[in-house]
Amino acid sequence: MQTKNDALIAYNVLYKKIVSGGFCTLCGACEAACPTGAISVEDEKNRRLHDCSEDLDLCPICYEVCPHSEALQLRTQKFVSDAPVKNEALGYYRKIVLAQATDPELRKLSRGGGVVTSLLTYGVEKKFFDSAIVSKAEPENPAKPKASVATVPDDILSAVGSKFFPSPVAKAYGRAVYGYGKTKIAFVGVPCHVLALRKMEAWRHKIADNLAIIIGLFCFGTFSMEPLLKYLEDNYHVKPSEIKHIRLSSKFIVQTEKDVIRIPISEIEDIIMPSCRTCTDFTSELADISIGSAYPLEEWSTVIIRTKAGADFFYNAVENGVINTWVIEQEPEVYQRVARASIQKRTAAIKEAKKMEEKFGYLPILMLRETDALDHVKVEDIMTTNVKTVSGSVTISQLLDLMAKQHHIGYPVINDNGTPIGFITLEEACQVGQEKRDSTPVSQILRRKPVAVHPGDTALVAFRKMSAFETGRVLVVDPAEPDKILGMITKSDLMHTLIEQD
Ligand SMILES: Cc1cc2nc3c(=O)[nH]c(=O)nc-3n(C[C@H](O)[C@H](O)[C@H](O)COP(=O)(O)OP(=O)(O)OC[C@H]3O[C@@H](n4cnc5c(N)ncnc54)[C@H](O)[C@@H]3O)c2cc1C
Ligand code: SF4
Ligand code: SF4
Ligand code: SF4
């Protein structure tokens, strides 16, 4: 008698690699996409309701749509990769602006720019979409998000503000399609939620046809609900029902009826969900529009417009007076903070993932690897030729301003003769104290010599040099004149090459 191959039933792999490995962030995409209703994501648990292998011999769906599996990762990049800017820290985009809801009450309620709520309300009122997937606060436990299908502005308003616990928004998306029969849905979520929806689109799952727009939030991580609430009760004597509001700035701020408690993030970082430690995406790089705070500005948000659909909708809302915008280039500190947070998150995640590779035997986030695909491409075909350089004599302050204006995170540094003498990054520049930035020239803190390849080398050679020298970019120089810069290649260029070939 022929026996069934367990590996062909995706749930077995999902359970082994994601759920039992502690990597599930409870988005509910597996439940929404499952054709047999075999999965339930409820109360912070991912359960199997029945054994689908009794009815099926093969089904790849739940594992492939899970944001923490390696499947479809490259393909999802295609939803944004036609954008003109390819930034190592922030991904593909068309434009970055500062924005706020024109309604001051909304800004107060959101404790940020109120941009997400404002856009969703406008979109539903003007029938850009027929519903929005939002995360309201549970009435009996205001810290706990309740993923909901909002169909009218009041529903959207009741979800204003961030909740720092997992919200099964992809499951709610499934409910909007199957339960409510919605066909033009706006989806809001953190980067892993956004990836789950993009995977459904890449998979060509039929529920993805009903997606109108994806608004992604910036995200450093979410906390496991029960352990965090227990920590608050044990250490600060705060019961879940006493929490009025949780907010995040440089500290984790818990507001109760009587008190405001400010907890250093380092004190509770062990309670961040395990997947967040290997998550490389800070700014929801696959969303149509990404939105996060604009610290140190209050009542403003940072908005990254990535796709044409995102741009059309956002500027329609601006033209109709529901959103104010401001140029980010005038606020260099905002750009620096967002770009730095993105780089730091990615660097820490890659380090952690490399440590885990042996244990788990696969690494979804390390999409860029040594591969034959890179050996078939020449450096000269993918390099950026218009390389912006800075002179070693510019000050750190001037450099940081330039980075914010040009949206770069690193430059080759040249001496007076135009010879490359090093490479300077945003991260290194920000390590110079504020008070010394006006008087410190870039040449004084240069640590790295530029790493170079030749135009005729393959992209694989460039990748190997980046790995060997632990850098994200290499210069392309003329083999006959090694001081002559012809171009530059970054890890983003290599990723773009893989995306194009997929
Ligand atoms: C878990 C989490 C971590 C974040 N970390 C950062 C960070 O480190 N840096 C940063 O700049 N920004 C971060 N943000 C984003 C930031 O808090 C704001 O959500 C964002 O700036 C949008 O602000 P707004 O005023 O436009 O949103 P609002 O108009 O207040 O709307 C907020 C929207 O977020 C949705 N939402 C709330 N909680 C969740 C949740 N848990 N899951 C999915 N959707 C949710 C709601 O449905 C609502 O529609 C985080 C958000 C979350 C949810
Ligand atoms: S039927 Fe559902 S649970 Fe089973 S493998 Fe397919 S998607 Fe997963
Ligand atoms: S799809 Fe979402 S809910 Fe399902 S296992 Fe993956 S992270 Fe968890
Ligand atoms: S850090 Fe990444 S994995 Fe964690 S909640 Fe945010 S987007 Fe999801």
> What pLDDT band is residue 195 in, cutting at 50, 70 and 90?
very high
Whether the per-residue pLDDT at 18 is higher than 80: the answer is yes
C-beta of residue 412 within 8 angstroms of C-beta of residue 443: no
Structure-token match 């040249």, residue found: 414
Give the pLDDT confidence score for residue 174 in this predicted structure.
Answer: 98
Question: Does ligand 1 come within 6 angstroms of the Cβ of 27?
Answer: no
Q: From ligand 3's centre to the CA of 66, what distance in Å?
A: 5
- How many Cβ atoms from other residues are within 10 Å of residue 482's Cβ? 13
Q: From ligand 3's centre to the CA of 351, what distance in Å?
A: 23
Mutate to test the pocket of ligand 4, among 169, 199, 222, 285 (most ligand atoms within 8 A of CB): 222
Q: From ligand 3's centre to the CA of 309, what distance in Å?
A: 27
Give the pLDDT confidence score for residue 67 in this predicted structure.
Answer: 95
Q: From ligand 2's centre to the CA of 191, what distance in Å?
A: 23
Whether the per-residue pLDDT at 419 is higher than 60: the answer is yes
Percent of the chain with pLDDT over 70: 96
Question: Does ligand 2 come within 6 angstroms of the Cβ of 9?
Answer: yes
Length of the chain: 502
* Nearest Cα residue to 218 out of 115, 78, 131: 115
Mutate to test the pocket of ligand 2, among 11, 12, 40, 199 (most ligand atoms within 8 A of CB): 11
The helix/strand/coil state of 149 is: strand
Question: Does ligand 1 come within 6 angstroms of the Cβ of 222?
Answer: yes
Question: Does ligand 4 come within 6 angstroms of the Cβ of 191?
Answer: yes
Average pLDDT over residues 214-225: 95
Better-predicted residue by pLDDT, 350 or 310:
310
Q: From ligand 3's centre to the CA of 213, what distance in Å?
A: 21
Nearest Cα residue to atom 1 of ligand 3: 66
Atom of ligand 3 at shortest range from CA of 170: 2
| Nearby residues of 186 by Cβ (< 8 Å), 6 or more positions away | 120, 123, 124, 128, 129, 131, 132, 133, 212, 213, 214, 215
CB burial readout 487-501, b (16+ within 10 A) else e:
bbbbbbbbbbbbbee
Q: From ligand 1's centre to the CA of 385, what distance in Å?
A: 38
Ligand nearest to the CA of 51: 2
Which of 161-165, 172-176, 238-242, 400-404 has the highest mean predicted lDDT (pLDDT)? Answer: 172-176
Structure-token match 């759920």, residue found: 19
Better-predicted residue by pLDDT, 140 or 192:
192
C-beta of residue 155 within 8 angstroms of C-beta of residue 131: no
Q: From ligand 1's centre to the CA of 293, what distance in Å?
A: 8
Question: What are the pLDDT digits (tens) for 135-150?
Answer: 998 877 777 899 999 9
Ligand nearest to the CA of 167: 1
What's the CA gap between 355 and 110, in Å, rounded? 38
Distances (CA, A) of 295 to 218, 313, 346, 357: 12, 25, 20, 35
Question: What are the pLDDT digits (tens) for 33-80?
Answer: 999 999 999 988 999 999 998 888 889 999 999 999 988 888 999 999
Better-predicted residue by pLDDT, 93 or 43:
93
Question: Does ligand 4 come within 6 angstroms of the Cβ of 190?
Answer: yes
Q: Cβ-count burial of 33 within 10 angstroms (0-12 exposed, 13-18 middle, 19+ buried)?
A: buried
Ligand nearest to the CA of 192: 4
Q: From ligand 3's centre to the CA of 254, what distance in Å?
A: 28
Atom of ligand 1 at shortest range from CA of 109: 30
Average pLDDT over residues 432-440: 94
Amino acid at 368: L
Instruction: Give CB contacts under 8 A, 24+ apart, made by 366-369.
Output: 367/70, 367/73, 367/74, 367/495, 367/498, 368/463, 368/491, 368/494, 368/495, 368/498
Amino acid at 271: I
Nearest Cα residue to atom 6 of ligand 3: 66
- How many Cβ atoms from other residues are within 10 Å of residue 242's Cβ? 16
Whether the per-residue pLDDT at 1 is higher than 50: the answer is no
Question: Does ligand 1 come within 6 angstroms of the Cβ of 301?
Answer: yes
Give the pLDDT confidence score for residue 43 in this predicted structure.
Answer: 87
- Locate 452 and state its tokens: 């170079």
CATH 3.30.110.40 assigned to domain 369-501? The reply is no
Whether the per-residue pLDDT at 8 is higher than 80: the answer is no
The helix/strand/coil state of 19 is: helix
Atom of ligand 3 at shortest range from CA of 19: 5
DSSP conformational letter for 161? S
Q: From ligand 3's centre to the CA of 291, what distance in Å?
A: 23
Q: Is the peptide bond before 296 cis (omega within 30 degrees of 0)?
A: yes
Nearest Cα residue to atom 8 of ligand 4: 192
Amino acid at 428: E
Residues carrying CATH 3.10.580.10, the chain: 369-501
The helix/strand/coil state of 293 is: strand
The helix/strand/coil state of 50 is: coil
